[in-house]
Amino acid sequence: MGRSNMGKNLSAIDWLNGLLGFVIFIFYIFSIPGNPYTYKPLIIIALSFFIIYLAVIFRKQIVKEPVKYKLSVLKKIYLDFYPLIFLFVIFESFFMILPYFNRHDYDTQLFNLDYKLLGVHPTLWIEQFVRPWLTDLLYSLYLFYFIFPFFILVYLYKKKKYKELDRSVFILLLVYYGAYISYFIFPAMGPRFYEPLMQMQSKTLNGVFLAIPIRHLIGIFEPNKFDAFPSLHTAISLSTIILMAKYNKKMFIIFIPVVIGIWISLVYCRYHYVVDMIVGIFWTILAFYLGNQIYNKLIKFKLPLFFKDNQDAN
Work out the pLDDT band at 5, boundaries 50, 70, 90: low
- The DSSP annotation for the chain comes to -PPPHHHHT--HHHHHHHHHHHHHHHHHHHHGGG-TTTTHHHHHHHHHHHHHHHHHHHHHHHHH-HHHHTT-HHHHHHHHHHHHHHHHHHHTTGGGTHHHH-----HHHHHHHHHHHHSS-HHHHGGGG--HHHHHHHHHHHHHTTTHHHHHHHHHHHTT-HHHHHHHHHHHHHHHHHHHHHHHHS----TTT-HHHHHH-------SSSHHHHHHHHHHT-------SS-HHHHHHHHHHHHHHHH-HHHHHHHHHHHHHHHHHHHHTT---HHHHHHHHHHHHHHHHHHHHHHHHHHTTT---HHHHHHHT-
Work out the pLDDT band at 313, boundaries 50, 70, 90: very low
Q: 75 and 61 in contact (C-beta within 8 Å)?
A: yes
Rounded Cα distance, 113 and 1, in Å: 52
**pLDDT greater than 50 at residue 67:** no
Rounded Cα distance, 45 and 20, in Å: 10
- Least confident among 56-65, 210-219, 268-277: 56-65
If DSSP codes are grouped into helix, strand and coil, which group holds residue 114?
helix
Work out the pLDDT band at 312, boundaries 50, 70, 90: very low
pLDDT in tens, 111-151: 999 999 999 999 999 999 999 999 999 999 999 999 999 99
Query: pTM here?
Result: 0.91
pLDDT in tens, 85-97: 999 999 989 999 9
Work out the pLDDT band at 69, boundaries 50, 70, 90: very low
Q: How many CB atoms lie within 10 A of CB 302?
A: 9
Per domain, the residue ranges of the chain are 5-312
The CA-to-CA distance between both ends of the chain, in Å, stands at 33
